[in-house]
Amino acid sequence: AQSVTQLGSHVSVSEGALVLLRCNYSSSVPPYLFWYVQYPNQGLQLLLKYTSAATLVKGINGFEAEFKKSETSFHLTKPSAHMSDAAEYFCAVSSSGYSTLTFGKGTMLLVSP
């Protein structure tokens, strides 16, 4: 069984500040991990994925995430927030070789001027 926990349903930052969105997972097998972003009334767009290669993964729009097996974490970061980053972010996990995704409940990122 797999599960994902995203700490904080809402995170507020100022423009230019560091963004940190937390994700912890549970998986009985080596996981594949993903971060997706959802803008209002749109589908999900893949930001980045971890698939057992490098533990620090770089994605689109300046986001990156680090896989830490000892902490079962895959936190998403961005050094400097832009107003356009305001959206909902979902962490997801899947088992290698079987693609069904298990999602966290999401974190809404709010960016203020």
Partner 1 sequence: NAGVMQNPRHLVRRRGQEARLRCSPMKGHSHVYWYRQLPEEGLKFMVYLQKENIIDESGMPKERFSAEFPKEGPSILRIQQVVRGDSAAYFCASSPELAGNQGEQYFGPGTRLTVT
Nearest distance in Å: CB 62, partner 1 = 20
Q: Which residues bind partner 1 (CB under 8 A)?
A: 4, 6, 9, 32, 34, 36, 41-46, 49, 51, 90, 94-106
**DSSP per position, 71-91:** GTEEEEEESS--GGG-EEEEE
Rounded Cα distance, 3 and 14, in Å: 30
Nearest distance in Å: CB 52, partner 1 = 9
Cα 51 to chain centroid distance, Å, stands at: 14
Q: Measured from the CB atom, is 46 or 54 closer to partner 1?
A: 46
| Size (the chain), residues | 113
Nearest distance in Å: CB 43, partner 1 = 4
Q: Measured from the CB atom, is 10 or 68 closer to partner 1?
A: 10
Q: Measured from the CB atom, is 86 or 101 closer to partner 1?
A: 101
Rounded Cα distance, 9 and 26, in Å: 19
